[in-house]
Structure 1
Amino acid sequence: MDFKPLASFIDRITSWRIPWAEVQVIHRNETVFRYRNGYVNLEEKTPIDEGRIFHIYSMTKIMTCAAALQLVEKGAMLLNDPISAYLPEYAEMNVRKTLPDGEFVLERASRPILVRDLFMMTAGFSYDLGAPSIRDVVERTNGKVPTRSFAEALAKEPLHFEPGTRWNYSLCHDVLAALVEAVDGRRFGAYIEDEISGPLGMRDTCFDLSDEQKSRLAPQYEYNEALGKPVRKDGNGFRIGTEFESGGAGLLSTVSDYALFLNALTNQGTSLSGVRILSPASVDLMRTDQLTDRMRDDYGWEQLKGYGYGLGVRTHTAKSDSGSLSPLGEFGWSGAAGCLAIIDPDSQLTVMYAQHLLNNQEPYVHPRLKNIVYGCM
């Protein structure tokens, strides 16, 4: 294995427009490469160092789906259950439909939202955090927005399509977090800590930071095209309430911490220390493509050509379309500030890549980084 090309790539993108980047490559449970470059604080020219905490945004979704799959394993719920069995506010949903003359009407949904629809992004939701019911719950709860209250508010919004008929990247996993709360009884963050992050020894993965952790929080940037440089833009725009534990985009973590979780999935659900968070059967189900042909038409991101969508993760299905060097069945997800997870049970390979730049250059960085990793192996 020669990882010089991967180090060169990190050097190149951090001299381009990404303030800092870090990558950890684990093969057969051993870290075979770890590298970082760039400035965690551009204004002070502080080099990126060990233990920096950052927003992982939508990579939260992988852990949310793992948490919900634990409840499926325990028989607490089934993928084909209607979510209204646990979240009664979703018992009768309206669908927003467009008539031939362009007028919008609301019609009663012909089938219920199922638990699997929350995993698969097929419930009919959007990603509109500015919807009237969401604005109302922010005001009504004085900016707290507990996770269950968020789900109750979203249920008042009409669906954008009949459940189970189309794919749309949306607030599904935030509702899935509320479903975990309703089924289990604990707050979502407490469930995550008790059942996943705590047992795996992930001390820096959480929704709310301690004072010590806040001192290690990396500044966040957004590239300003007009200025030709990244500008500081801290905060998580998906965290709309102080008590909102967003299953879709709320976690903070470090490279070392989240790699522990990802590598447990690479090992079919069991960590190197023997902690089992999921069964091999659940991991295989998670990375099984669930899309119908109609849904595949909606799943059109350039960097995901050749990938299907499983239970909350991309999954490699066609090398002829992807042009990727990773094997079929490689899976994972990414986050809004540019982090990337590569989980590959067949190759026994785990990659945790991190950066902290909104408008993250994902279509350029992620496919190249993936191919470079496999080319180095």
Structure 2
Amino acid sequence: MNFEPLASFMDRITSWRIPWAEVLVMHRNETVFRYRQGYANLEEKTPVTDRQLINLYSLTKIMTCTAALQLVEKGAIHLNDPLSDYLPEFADMTVKKRQPDGELAFEKAVKPITVRDLFTMSAGFSYDLEAPSIRDAVRSTDGKMPTRTFAEAIAKEPLQFEPGTRWNYSLCHDVLAALVEAVDGRRFGTYIRDEITGPLGMTDTGFDLSDEQRVRLAPQYEYSDALGKPIRKDGNGYRLGSEYESGGAGLLSTVSDYALFLNALTNQGTSPDGVRILSPATVDLMRTDHLVGNMCGDFCWEQLKGYGYGLGVRTHISQAESGSLSPLGEFGWSGAAGCLAIIDPASQLTVMYAQHLLNNQEPFVHPRLRNIVYACL
């Protein structure tokens, strides 16, 4: 293995727009390459360290779906169940429909939202955090916005389409976190700690930070084209309240910590020291392409050509379309500030890539980084 091309690529992007970047490559449970470059704090020229905490944003979604799939394994929920069996507020939904004259109408939904629809982003939700019902819930809870209250709020908003008929990147996994709470009885963050991060020895992953961890939280940036440089932009805009544990974008972690979780999935659900978080059959179901009908056309992000969508993850289905050197079945996801997870059971490969830049250059960085990693093996 020769990872010099990967180091050169990291040097290249951190001399371009990205303040810092770090990558950890594991092969057959061994760390075979780790590299970081750039400054965690640009103003103070502070180098990035191996204990730097970041906002994972949508990389949270993989863990949320893992948590909910544990409940599937226990028979507590089933993918084909109506969501309203567990969250009654979703029993009678309305759908926005465009009339022939161009006017919007609101009609009673014909199809129920299923548990599967939450996993596959096909429930009909949007990603509108400014929706009236959500903002009302923030105000009525004095800024606390418990996770279950969020679900009750979004249930008041009309759906964008009939459940199960389209794919739309949305707040589905935030509702999935509320479903875990409703079925299990524990707060979502407590469930995550008790059933996933605790058993895996992940001490730096959670929805809230201790005082010691807060010191290690990396500054967050956004690149300004007008100024020609990154500018500081801290905070997580997806955190709607002090008690809100966003299943879609709320976790904080380090590269080392989250790699432990990703590598357990690479090992078909069991860590190298024997901690099982999912069965191999469940991991295979997770990375099966669940897009059908019109959903296939909706899932059209440029950087994900050749990928389908599983239960909360991209999954590689066509090398001819993707141009990716990874094998079919490689899966994972990414986050708003630019982190990337590559999970590959066939190659026994785990990659955790991190940065902290909101306009993250993902369409350029991620496909190239993936190909370089595989070429280096």
**What interval of TM-score do these two structures reach, taking the shorter chain for normalisation?**
over 0.9
SS of alignment partner, residue 278 of structure 2 = coil
Aligned to 1:291: 291
Aligned to 1:7: 7
- TM-superposed CA distance for 1:115, in Å, is 0.1
- TM-superposed CA distance for 1:294, in Å, is 1.1
- TM-superposed CA distance for 1:293, in Å, is 3.3
Query: For residues 162 and 302 of structure 2, what CA distance do their matches in structure 1 show?
Result: 26
Aligned to 1:250: 250
Aligned to 2:177: 177
Query: For residues 12 and 200 of structure 1, what CA distance do their matches in structure 2 show?
Result: 34
1:82 aligns with 2:82: yes
Structure 1 counterpart of 2:144, one-letter code: K
Query: For residues 244 and 232 of structure 1, what CA distance do their matches in structure 2 show?
Result: 24
Matches within 5 A, 1:91-170: 91-170=91-170
Deviation readout 1:298-328 (Å, 9 max, x if unpaired): 1110000000000000000000000000000
Give the % identical residues.
79
Deviation readout 1:18-46 (Å, 9 max, x if unpaired): 00000000000000000000000000001
Is contact 2:165–2:293 with CA below 8 Å preserved after alignment? no
Deviation readout 1:54-84 (Å, 9 max, x if unpaired): 0000000000000000000000010000010
Aligned to 1:189: 189
> RMSD in angstroms over aligned alpha carbons?
0.4
Matches within 5 A, 1:1-377: 1-377=1-377
- TM-superposed CA distance for 1:111, in Å, is 1.1
Deviation readout 1:61-111 (Å, 9 max, x if unpaired): 000000000000000010000010000000000001110111111111001
Query: For residues 41 and 272 of structure 2, what CA distance do their matches in structure 1 show?
Result: 34
Deviation readout 1:121-146 (Å, 9 max, x if unpaired): 00000000000000000000000000
Query: For residues 333 and 19 of structure 1, what CA distance do their matches in structure 2 show?
Result: 22
Stretches of 4+ moved more than 3 A in 1? none
Query: For residues 209 and 190 of structure 2, what CA distance do their matches in structure 1 show?
Result: 14
Structure 2 counterpart of 1:328, one-letter code: L
SS of alignment partner, residue 106 of structure 2 = strand
Query: For residues 68 and 170 of structure 1, what CA distance do their matches in structure 2 show?
Result: 17
Query: For residues 331 and 249 of structure 2, what CA distance do their matches in structure 1 show?
Result: 18
- TM-superposed CA distance for 1:182, in Å, is 0.3
Is contact 2:120–2:311 with CA below 8 Å preserved after alignment? yes
SS of alignment partner, residue 353 of structure 1 = strand
Query: For residues 111 and 160 of structure 2, what CA distance do their matches in structure 1 show?
Result: 14
Residue ranges of structure 2 left out of the alignment (5+ in a row): none
Scaled by the length of structure 2, the TM-score of the pair is 1.00
SS of alignment partner, residue 25 of structure 1 = strand
Query: For residues 114 and 49 of structure 2, what CA distance do their matches in structure 1 show?
Result: 44
Query: For residues 231 and 100 of structure 2, what CA distance do their matches in structure 1 show?
Result: 45
Deviation readout 1:248-276 (Å, 9 max, x if unpaired): 00000000000000000000000011100
- TM-superposed CA distance for 1:50, in Å, is 1.5
Query: For residues 276 and 299 of structure 2, what CA distance do their matches in structure 1 show?
Result: 32
- How many residue pairs match? The answer is 377
Query: For residues 179 and 293 of structure 2, what CA distance do their matches in structure 1 show?
Result: 28
Scaled by the length of structure 1, the TM-score of the pair is 1.00
Structure 2 counterpart of 1:234, one-letter code: D
